[in-house]
Amino acid sequence: MSVRKVEIKEEEIEEILLLVNRMYGYDFTSYSRASMQRRIARFMDDARFKNFSEFKFSLVNDTSVFDYFLQRITVNVTEMFRDPQFYTAIRKQVLPEIASYPTIKIWHAGCSSGEEVFSMAILLHEAGLLKRSKIYGTDINPSNIEKAKKGILPLEVMKEYVANYIHSGGESDFASYYTARYENAIIRKDLREKVFFSQHNLVTDQVFNEFQLILCRNVMIYFNSQLQNKVIQLFYNSLSTFGFLALGIKESLLFSDFKNKFEVIGSHEKIFKRIQL
Amino acid sequence: MNKSQKEELVVIGGSAGSLTILLRVIKKLPDDFSVPVIIVIHRQRNVLSEFTTILTNAFKNKKIVEPDDKNPIDGSCIYVAPQNYHLLIETDYTFSLDYSEPVKFSRPSIDVTLESAAIVYKSNLTAILLSGANNDGTSGLISVVQNGGAIIAQDPETAEFAAMPASAISTVPGIVVLSPDEIAAYLTGINSK
């Protein structure tokens, strides 16, 4: 076995990111490097490119290679009721406050294939708020959005989601929220009706509505500090006064320019509230 | 940030059977130990782990930190890779986290942290692999050695689960095999460099 590993150089990463931006309009140049480097190396390995120039040539000349690249370079790992204690906090601390709005608007930025969006629809349903809610799920990756719009999940993963749901404090029959058909589960129609999926790129796109709650979980970990600040600004501008921002369990506003513009609601769950300054 | 905080880094990877070894090694570190240490240890996913609490309670005089994304690396801390994330290091000596698929069924993956640390710290990195039942870490140690870092495996004779250090020893040339007490002595040596 050869113990020598091929490593992709820093300048090669820069070259690829500039190329992708110029040719396909996806700007990954402000993504954090460590993770990007790893995923590009992994992509080259999976697609069996022998060297950097072969990889570059294919990426330029074959759009299907780019589609696969986009799929692999963006992280699309998600689950329903991910981090159950986070959903407990949403149930107890956030929903009672936003319930006073006549129409509740929620934005899941970077929603992947929609699992967490459907989880939110279930929470709203259980709190009796779904009928006057609108949930917007956006993602950079068009194939994620197509998947999310269908609302179909593999049945085998639902078992794991049941456990998450129960840990989050769910007391209903989880199986009543979907219809099982062969190997798949289809999310119930009334839950899907309040959910709107569309493509949105946090790097280049703008404010499109005003929300009482924005969730962006495990998305900004892939951005460098400058881009994080820019995106938090976008969220700040998209929140109603005293609106909530929810991040991933290991994400923080502490290292951002915005630590004084939000109040900490759940320090472990990473739920923040916009305050007037 | 003073100079010494940036210069050296220690990464310790462990899996089954590594907790008692870790406790023993950390206990032997001198009070003035000022090289940042990152511990990557496999834990069950979606079960809240007590690992960080155990360390915090065992070593009241040390700062045990589970870093958030973008946390700067500080020489006075022992960092524990958070559950369900891969822990990476940026060239500006901050942490970054990654929620992508587990590698060799592990998230955090020892390989991922070692590969990323090797690129940034090069010859100033010391990587240590402890007891474990799979072969996570072997690939990461290759990156460390390629970048000029030092690599150490726990002597499989002293390990409750020998597979992990044994895999590295049989694959990566130049690996130093040490007992737990020798590992502690080695780390103390780095500190007084």
- Tokens describing residue B111: 């390989």
Q: What is the pTM of this model?
A: 0.92
Q: Tell me whether residue B42 is one of the annotated catalytic residues.
A: yes
Distance CA B32, CA A166 (A): 46
Distance CA A105, CA A138 (A): 14
CA B107, A266, B94, A116 dihedral sign is positive
Nearest residue to A251 (alpha-carbon basis) of A27, A86, A34, A28: A86
Residue A4 has pLDDT above 70, yes or no: no
Q: Give the 3-state secondary structure of residue A171.
A: coil
Can you tell me the mean pLDDT for A25-44? 93
What pLDDT, on the 0 to 100 scale, is given for residue A220? 96
CA B181 to chain centre: 16
What pLDDT, on the 0 to 100 scale, is given for residue B142? 96
What pLDDT, on the 0 to 100 scale, is given for residue B51? 85
Write down the H helix ranges in A179-265: 189-192, 225-238
Residue B2 has pLDDT above 80, yes or no: no
Name which of A34, A163, A254 is nearest B89 (Cβ-Cβ). A34
Between the alpha carbon of residue B82 and those of residues A4, A81, A222, the distances in Å are 29, 19, 16
pLDDT in tens, B123-158: 999 999 999 999 999 999 999 999 999 999 999 999
What pLDDT, on the 0 to 100 scale, is given for residue B47? 55
- Please name the residues in contact with A147: beta carbons below 8 A apart, sequence gap of 6 or more: A113, A114
Residue A106 has pLDDT above 50, yes or no: yes
Can you tell me the mean pLDDT for A6-29? 92
- A-B CB pairs within 8 A amount to 89
Q: Give the 3-state secondary structure of residue B136.
A: coil
pLDDT in tens, A194-238: 999 999 999 999 999 999 999 999 999 999 999 999 999 999 999
CA A170 to chain centre: 22
- Tokens describing residue A243: 């609106």
Can you tell me the mean pLDDT for A158-172? 94
Name which of A3, A32, A218 is nearest B90 (Cβ-Cβ). A32
Catalytic residue chosen out of the listed positions B18, B106, B136, B143: B136
Residue B4 has pLDDT above 70, yes or no: no
Taking CB atoms and an 8 Å limit, are A252 and B68 in contact across chains? yes
Q: Which long-range contacts (CB under 8 A, 24 or more apart) does A188-191 make?
A: A190/A125, A190/A130, A191/A118, A191/A121, A191/A122, A191/A125, A191/A130
What pLDDT, on the 0 to 100 scale, is given for residue A50? 85
Residue B46 has pLDDT above 70, yes or no: no
Chain A hits for B139, CB-CB cut-off 8 Å, are 5
pLDDT in tens, A125-140: 999 999 999 999 999 9
Name which of A34, A220, A225 is nearest B116 (Cβ-Cβ). A34
What phi, psi does A227 have (nearest 5°)? -65, -40
Chain B hits for A232, CB-CB cut-off 8 Å, are none
What pLDDT, on the 0 to 100 scale, is given for residue B45? 60
Residue A43 has pLDDT above 70, yes or no: yes
Q: Tell me whether residue B106 is one of the annotated catalytic residues.
A: no
User: Which band of pLDDT confidence, cut at 50, 70 and 90, is reported for residue B1?
Assistant: very low
User: Which band of pLDDT confidence, cut at 50, 70 and 90, is reported for residue B82?
Assistant: very high
* Contact assessment for residue B91 and residue B78, using Cβ atoms and an 8 Å cutoff: no
Residue A87 has pLDDT above 70, yes or no: yes
Nearest residue to B132 (alpha-carbon basis) of B108, B101, B149, B98: B108
Nearest residue to A211 (alpha-carbon basis) of A151, A121, A274: A274
- Please name the residues in contact with A2: beta carbons below 8 A apart, sequence gap of 6 or more: none
Q: What DSSP string runs through A140-160?
A: S-HHHHHHHHHTEEEHHHHHH
* Contact assessment for residue B93 and residue B124, using Cβ atoms and an 8 Å cutoff: no
Q: What is the mean pLDDT of chain B?
A: 92
